[in-house]
Amino acid sequence: MRPRRGRGRVRGRASSGRARPTRDDSPGNGTSLARYDWETILPRAAAIVESYTTGVTLRQLYYRLVAEELLPNLTAAYKALSRVTAREREHGTFPDLIDPTRAIEYPFYFDDAAEAQRWLREQFRLDHTRGQAWTIVLGIEKRGLEGLLTSWFGDRGLPVVALGGYDSLSHVQEVQRYVAQYERPAVLLYAGDFDPSGEDIQRDFIERVDFFVETHRVALTWDQVEAYDLPPQLGKATDSRAAAFRERHGQLVQVEVDALPPDTLQRLYTEQVDRYWDMSQYQVVCRREARERRRL
């Protein structure tokens, strides 16, 4: 038995026939649930949730449905999805979603000493990055995607830094301490929204940490928006970074990284990780770990 604890210009779009990106935050526009084809949307939404190996947030699900053009990119549509899925979950006819901003906390405990010994044997691990030439840090703008990165790269011992917006000083210092302890060059592999803030959050984090020898934007880029046919919406003209973004990209748009299917995001990260990862050294560490576990 395991111990229990709480944790409880839009180029290339003319031929697609897709409407230009829009923004509608007025609560009275399109709030009727009947305007959407839920008989089509709900089965597909359930299939999307069940395709993930980790939990899925409502936001992730919504942007996947927007990317498949089953829902419009409108605030009213997001609210409608929230209400309908909540109703279906209460009836037990829709898979659970997660809310990473809330959890129930309770003490870590064991039933007896034997259970504690079994847990230690199962949990024991060495530093899987030992002997690597690079310190690889995986960055992600959205906290709701943190679990995906951990499930994909946790066995390699790679740290996942979920920013959730502009980072705090204490978190920046924590990342600095982690990178500094290894005394080897560090690389940041980062994914965030394709919008003015999404690009600037990455810049701000890199400048404040000031430890990365190399950085790579895994996603999203404009080329990826086109390649994966992700639907953009109009960016916020009031954003202080909007003018610079428009100058770089030719127009002001916003595309959420959540719209990428998880297998695509995993492949994009893996391609970058493998550039810096020494698999033979990793296997040496794993063999030693197996020997130590047998001793335990």
Q: What is the pTM of this model?
A: 0.75
- pLDDT confidence bin for 22, thresholds 50/70/90: very low
Confidence of residue 6 (pLDDT cuts 50, 70, 90): very low
What mean pLDDT comes out for the span 124-140?
95
Q: How confident is the model at residue 25 (pLDDT cuts 50, 70, 90)?
A: very low
User: What are 51-72's pLDDT values in tens digits?
Assistant: 888 888 898 899 889 888 899 8
All structural domains of the chain = 19-90 (no CATH), 132-277 (3.40.1360.10)
Query: What pLDDT was estimated at residue 32?
Result: 62
Q: Is the distance from CB of 159 to CB of 138 less than 8 angstroms? A: yes
**Element (H or E) spanning 152, and its range?**
helix 146-153
Q: Is the pLDDT assigned to residue 255 strictly greater than 60?
A: yes
Q: For residue 106, what pLDDT band results from cuts at 50, 70 and 90?
A: confident
pLDDT at position 289 is: 95
Least confident of 14-23, 115-124, 165-174, 274-283: 14-23
**Is residue 38 very low, low, confident or very high in pLDDT (cuts 50, 70, 90)?**
very high
The one-letter amino acid at 239: D
Residue 263: burial class (beta carbons within 10 Å; 0-12, 13-18, 19+): exposed
Q: Is the pLDDT of residue 90 over 60?
A: yes
Residue 12 pLDDT > 80: no
Smallest CA-to-CA distance from 257 within 162, 136, 135 is with 162
Mean pLDDT of the chain: 85
- Please give the average per-residue pLDDT across 90-111, as a whole number: 86
- Mean pLDDT within 16-30: 38
Angle at CA 34, nearest 5°, toward 68 and 98? 55
Taking only the tens place, the pLDDT of each residue in 191-211 is 999 999 889 999 999 999 999
Main-chain phi, psi angles of 275, to 5 degrees: -70, -25
